[in-house]
Structure 1
Amino acid sequence: MTYFSPWWTPHVHADRRPRLMLRNSITAATREWFTHHDFIEVETAALQISPGNEAHLSAFSTEAIGPDGKRQPFYLHTSPEFACKKLLAAGETRIFSLGAVYRNRERGALHHPEFTMLEWYRAGETYESVMADCAALVALAAERAGSKRFAFRGRETDPFAEPERLTVAEAFLRHAGIDLLATVARDGSTDAEALREGLTQAGLRTAPDDNWADLFSRVLVERVEPALGQGKATILYEYPVAEAALARKTTNDPRVAERFELYCCGVELANGFGELTDAAEQRRRFEAEMDEKERVYGERYPLDEEFLNALAIMPEASGVALGFDRLVMLAAGAAKIEDVIWTPVA
């Protein structure tokens, strides 16, 4: 049996320390960048009524006990998104948050149950503006690390090159030969059998109980994502509305929404939106997501009614969440994100 020394033993820490110090340097540079661009840093509460309402996000639950002994359920947030959007409703216009978030059911080279998320918002600006921010922050991390290339599992990215922009529909056609939008109606509803036929023709496995979302994810994970961010970063954008619970529809095609993801070396770094501000539509999407969560995992999370109320006065905005540990991992040339986390969860 092989035994590994824990991260706190002196010889292991001495090996890890240069990457951890680089993390601190990139953290400082990131804060300086946001300050220079007129953002203010906000700190959001980790305890929330709802941890988020996406079907495949799993949260840690707890409860608060009041002085009278009354118990109230809470969750550790999976993102500061709801709190940040409430601040936009309150009148803030350019904000960023850099702090810990928590996700259950996740652990591996690219996942950790507690990790650092960099999230920021621009009120009154398009989602192309935060796409540009993402490219600038990738270059900033590489510059601070003195790295000309990012490399991970045999794939390389030039962090200083202008990212390629590719729609999800273009990516499905290019990498799997599937006409994705032929399976999406103009009202956003989806046709699982049409997509299943596309997977079969592409030589991808399917199961009788797969729904459209299952099939979409399989193509994305097995054919599309491994091909992204090679040579230069890729911005994958215009996700089908069914896969963009918090993004508004595009003005040119009601089948797709203003959602994008940033990839380097096949690794997803960021997920951004042109933010949905229609509370009724947001409620409908959340309820659909929770129905799917109940189908798959047998549980559902409450809706944050204050968040839905805040949407009524929230300005048009764009926002993005970036996995800070993953960015540091690529900049440092590390093999897994635990290599750049000061105190990994045991």
Structure 2
Amino acid sequence: MLFENKYIQQRIEKADKLREVGINPYSNESLRNCTISKYLNVNSDIFHTENKRDENRSYTVAGRIKFFRLMGKAAFLKIEDESGMLQVYVARDNLPEGFYNEIFKKNIEVGDIVEVTGYPFVTGQGELSLHVDNLKILTKAISPLPEKYHGIQDKELRYRQRYLDLIMNSEVRKTFHIRSKVISLTRRFFENKGFLEVETPMMHPIAGGANARPFVTHHNALGIDRYLRIAPELYLKRLIVGGFEAVFEINRNFRNEGMDATHNPEFTSIEFYWAYKTYKDLIIITKEYFEYLFEHLELPTILPYGDLKIDFNKFTEIPLIQSLSEIGGVPADIVEDKEKIILFMKSKNLDVNEKMNLGQLQGELFDEYVEAKLINPTFITEYPVEISPLARRNDEKTHLTDRFELFIAGKEIANAFSELNDPLDQLQRFEGQMAAKDSGDDEAHEMDEDFVNALSYGMAPTAGQGIGIDRLVMMLTNQHSIRDVLLFPAMKPVKHEINLHDDEI
């Protein structure tokens, strides 16, 4: 049961005592006129005055008490709002008679949210503080905060109770400020480039746009199943068919697959499509996008990532098959021979599905031997047709596609290609995917006849790209789990949640 803990019960009693003397412990009114960061900035000149105080100035700030030290007739508090931390000095003789001893000392504590009014001064320790002449409790916290110096050690608890994590850890809040800025800057960058932001459906009649298992829901009014969006790609390309020439969507996608350090069932990406351009143009705009982010986030272009250093000044390109030998160390004489690849993988005690075609096996080699070695930003180009069902064939190397994936710190960050706009080729690719699905590939692409029909009306030569926002933020903030850049990541239910679900069923 909630709130049975004795310490919580003691805090509930204090809230009741406040009510008894006419103080609402959950006030809805605040006279705050200054954030803590603004207070600290506008009063920095106090350090240079003779008395290091100015009783003619008055400010009202508000925040959560993070530190509380009583010293007889006075107390020092530290309160925190979103912008920063401020020390405040509370003296008995500056407050209404009886307030300090009967209200403040007995009923206000760490975790409570208070409003304080007073003037600026510098303590003997040289800290700019606020001398309180009025204090009001705004919110009584009935659950005590974790012990200050150890914080929240249990990562599971941090993710499940993100609100508590945010209260205790300003660095976590900083990460999510950066994430918000990345999304805002991404929107601004593409708008400045002339792209139109659009919205497409999140419930699809066909699970399409990428190779992945979908989440399934049911539409009661229509009496049919719908699939949560795997990717917005096919809808965005329909818009290119319709005459838009540059569109983007910052979107939530849903994939019913495993969870690990870089995968969450729902994630954020930007997808954009650009008529009369090729994947080579996308390489250029991707470099410009990163330059824009680094400039406006004021980040150094060489960033730490764990034990690594990522140099964002060094973007390189290499074809996938070439990378197998030059980066992965796979013998060059086997990388274009299916049987030799199978024998090689068996000799290395790797699981191998002999039913895979050459392109799929090349993809397996890349995943095993190359991906983790791509530390600085690397565009891997020329992907096999077999693992690129929506990408345009290369005119000269028809077994390859005009496609790239961008890897940073051993992780895929972006996927892009010159779009397939031949409706008959697209139909054949879908048919090949359906055959793969019939053979047991749960992630194979579904047939989308309406999309093929759309292509039959003619889609201008187009290039399209998706960039994973979550993984990008991981790189920029030196986080190594996707859960650390998602405010509320997917979690395995705890026991009482499972029981509740079973009862509802």
Question: Shared fold (TM-score greater than 0.5)?
Answer: yes
User: Aligned equivalents of 2:238 and 2:252: distance in 1?
Assistant: 19
User: Aligned equivalents of 2:310 and 2:249: distance in 1?
Assistant: 26
Structure 1 unaligned blocks of 5 or more: 184-190
Q: Secondary structure at the match of 2:226?
A: strand
Percent same amino acid at aligned positions?
27
Residue 111 to residue 206, structure 1, CA distance change in 2 (3 Å): closer
Residue 10 to residue 62, structure 1, CA distance change in 2 (3 Å): closer
- Is the contact between residue 209 and residue 234 of structure 2 (CA under 8 Å) also seen in structure 1? no
Aligned to 2:461: 316
1:300 deviation in Å? Answer: 6.6
Amino acid of the structure 2 residue aligned with 1:13: L
Amino acid of the structure 2 residue aligned with 1:46: M
Aligned to 1:22: 178
Residue 208 to residue 343, structure 1, CA distance change in 2 (3 Å): closer
1:17 deviation in Å? Answer: 1.3
User: Aligned equivalents of 1:128 and 1:224: distance in 2?
Assistant: 22
Task: Give the CA RMSD over aligned residues.
Answer: 2.4
Amino acid of the structure 2 residue aligned with 1:258: D
* Cα shift readout 1:87-138 (whole Å, capped 9, x = no counterpart): 0011000111101010111311111101001111110111111112222223
User: Aligned equivalents of 1:135 and 1:9: distance in 2?
Assistant: 34
User: Aligned equivalents of 1:295 and 1:277: distance in 2?
Assistant: 27
* Structure possessing the higher radius of gyration over alpha carbons: 2
Match of 1:193 among 339, 349, 366: 339
Amino acid of the structure 2 residue aligned with 1:276: L
Match of 1:171 among 308, 317, 323: 323
What TM-score results when the alignment is normalised by the length of structure 2? 0.61
1:218 deviation in Å? Answer: 2.7
Amino acid of the structure 2 residue aligned with 1:33: F
Aligned to 2:396: 252
Match of 2:372 among 226, 229, 243: 226
What TM-score results when the alignment is normalised by the length of structure 1? 0.87
- Is the contact between residue 430 and residue 446 of structure 2 (CA under 8 Å) also seen in structure 1? no
User: Aligned equivalents of 1:293 and 1:156: distance in 2?
Assistant: 41
* Cα shift readout 1:278-314 (whole Å, capped 9, x = no counterpart): 1121121122223223323568764222211111221
- Is the contact between residue 150 and residue 265 of structure 1 (CA under 8 Å) also seen in structure 2? no
Structure 2 unaligned blocks of 5 or more: 1-153, 492-505
Match of 1:140 among 273, 292, 295: 292
Match of 1:107 among 245, 251, 259: 259
2:247 paired with 1:95: yes
1:150 deviation in Å? Answer: 3.7
- Is the contact between residue 155 and residue 266 of structure 1 (CA under 8 Å) also seen in structure 2? no
1:341 deviation in Å? Answer: 1.6
User: Aligned equivalents of 2:311 and 2:434: distance in 1?
Assistant: 39
User: Aligned equivalents of 1:238 and 1:300: distance in 2?
Assistant: 20
1:268 deviation in Å? Answer: 0.5
Aligned to 2:432: 288
Amino acid of the structure 1 residue aligned with 2:350: R
User: Aligned equivalents of 2:194 and 2:368: distance in 1?
Assistant: 40
User: Aligned equivalents of 1:44 and 1:53: distance in 2?
Assistant: 12
- Is the contact between residue 162 and residue 487 of structure 2 (CA under 8 Å) also seen in structure 1? no
